């Protein structure tokens, strides 16, 4: 990897920043210590235009260089940790601690070279990526305006790529996600008199099979669609009145996504009705597919080639990212920086961690993107 001295010189501070974030993981919209630390660090660097009233714990630091109204680029980091279990225990098992460290490192280099920047740069620290989608809320609260953002970029350290790999793919990179809940209504009663009842558990099973079958499309489309939880009844001899289900729908194509959601609702309602019951399906959140701009992805690819030996351009993942909301509004790209170490642990695994090399690479990549468009 090729890392400039101005990046290498920050390695000790990178370790300090990452250790703080790693040791103080906080769930979405509760990133109080995290947000306070980021603001403190930015002020130490000399930033004065820091907006902490965007959305919940979100932060936008704005740096104006020469001709500040000429163009504006946004760099984004998520700041929340993964909620690991039902107790609310949090841990940085998705790499957001590394993302924050990268963006703070970039912030320092940019401040040191403010006189060389032509335009305005926004550094966005976003809450609740793992939850209900803080990106959408920050956009609705105006982060892409005043001044208007022309391009937006984000990095995600990625466990399926090795430390010397960068993935920059034009087009669809990450899937949409549409979690849903289904309530099945029937007629409960004695298990010895099933003919007098409308069996919600049987209806739920039929819905589960049908949903799985819906995931089979032609070879050029990939859809993840299925039931992930069923909860009904608690007694051996009672057929319950209701059954509750949860599931997920994911695809790379936003048109397919819309059609699939419509068909899913209709299928669930039809099955329940034919079996004498009723069902309601509600989508409880959503991220669109993460689709990189063709032009910006190609331009970032040319930059990335100067940093690492291997550029991956054909990788996709069914994981989702709410940076997709930014890419619906402005050109830009989500870039995956490899972080796989000797022993592989996927994102959200208890043992997932990020070393220093992906942070150095990520900082250099953001810096080189800045040079291409702003310096």
122 forms beta bridges with: 62, 74
Name the architecture of domain 5-173+288-374: 3-Layer(aba) Sandwich (3.40)
Residues 179-198: tens digit of each pLDDT: 999 999 999 999 999 999 99
Please tell me the predicted confidence (pLDDT) of residue 176. Answer: 95
- Tokens 């049908």 correspond to 210
Which of 140, 106, 107 shows the shortest CA–CA distance to 326? 140
CATH of 178-283, one of 3.30.70.580, 3.30.70.360, 3.90.1150.10, 3.30.465.10: 3.30.70.360
Please tell me the predicted confidence (pLDDT) of residue 221. Answer: 73
For the cut 90, the answer to whether the pLDDT of residue 69 exceeds it is: no
Q: Give the model's confidence band at 90: pLDDT under 50 very low, under 70 low, under 90 confident, else very high.
A: very high
Peptide bond into 158 cis (omega under 30): no
Please tell me the predicted confidence (pLDDT) of residue 220. Answer: 60
Please tell me the predicted confidence (pLDDT) of residue 207. Answer: 98
Residues 93-125: tens digit of each pLDDT: 999 999 999 999 999 999 999 999 999 999 999
Residue 197 tokens read as 């009842």
CA 351, 30, 281, 223 torsion: positive or negative? negative
- Average pLDDT for residues 137-155, to the nearest whole number? 97
Residue 286 tokens read as 């959503």
Among 255-264, 309-318, 353-362, the minimum mean pLDDT is found in: 255-264
For the cut 70, the answer to whether the pLDDT of residue 217 exceeds it is: no
Higher confidence at residue 187 or residue 212?
187
- The domain limits of the chain are 5-173+288-374, 178-283
Q: At what angle do helices 356-374 and 294-304 cross, to 10 degrees?
A: 120
Which of 10, 1, 375, 373 shows the shortest CA–CA distance to 166? 1
Give the N- to C-terminal CA distance of the chain in Å, as an integer. Answer: 22
Query: What does the angle CA 87 – CA 345 – CA 334 come to, to the nearest 5 degrees?
Result: 90
Residues 43-61: tens digit of each pLDDT: 999 999 999 989 999 999 9
CA 8, 101, 58, 373 torsion: positive or negative? positive
Please tell me the predicted confidence (pLDDT) of residue 53. Answer: 84
Please tell me the predicted confidence (pLDDT) of residue 223. Answer: 86
């Amino acid at each position: 990897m090729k890392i400039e001295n101005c990046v290498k010189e920050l390695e000790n501070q990178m370790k300090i920043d990452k250790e703080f974030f790693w040791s103080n993981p906080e769930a979405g919209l509760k990133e109080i210590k995290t947000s306070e630390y980021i603001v403190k660090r930015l002020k130490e660097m000399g930033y004065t235009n820091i907006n902490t009233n965007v959305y919940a714990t979100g932060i936008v630091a704005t740096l104006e260089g020469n001709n500040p109204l000429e163009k504006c680029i946004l760099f984004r980091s998520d700041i929340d940790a993964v909620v690991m279990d039902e107790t609310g225990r949090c841990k940085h098992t998705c790499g957001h601690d590394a993302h924050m460290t990268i963006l703070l490192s970039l912030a320092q280099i940019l401040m040191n070279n403010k006189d060389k920047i032509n335009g305005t740069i926004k550094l966005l620290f976003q809450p609740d990526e793992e939850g209900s989608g803080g990106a959408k809320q920050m956009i609705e609260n105006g982060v892409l305006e005043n001044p208007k953002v022309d391009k937006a970029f984000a990095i995600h350290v990625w466990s399926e790529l090795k430390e010397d790999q960068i993935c920059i793919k034009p087009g669809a990179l990450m899937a949409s996600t549409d979690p849903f809940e289904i309530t099945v209504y029937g007629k409960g009663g004695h298990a010895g008199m099933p003919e007098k009842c409308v069996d919600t558990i049987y209806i739920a099973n039929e819905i589960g099979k049908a949903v799985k079958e819906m995931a089979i499309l032609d070879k050029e489309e990939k859809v993840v669609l299925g039931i992930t939880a069923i909860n009904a009844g608690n007694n051996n001899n009672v057929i319950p009145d209701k059954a509750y289900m949860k599931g997920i729908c994911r695809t790379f194509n936003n048109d397919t996504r819309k059609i699939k959601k419509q068909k899913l609702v209709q299928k669930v309602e039809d099955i329940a009705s034919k079996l004498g019951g009723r069902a309601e399906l509600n989508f409880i959140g959503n991220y669109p597919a993460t689709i990189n701009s063709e032009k910006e992805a190609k331009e970032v690819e040319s930059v990335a080639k100067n940093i690492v030996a291997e550029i991956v351009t054909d990788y996709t993942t069914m994981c989702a990212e709410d940076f997709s909301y930014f890419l619906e509004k402005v050109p830009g790209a989500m870039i995956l920086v490899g972080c796989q170490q000797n022993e592989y642990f996927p994102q959200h695994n208890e043992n997932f961690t990020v070393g220093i090399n992906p942070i150095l690479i990520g900082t250099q990549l953001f810096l080189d993107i800045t040079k291409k468009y702003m310096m």
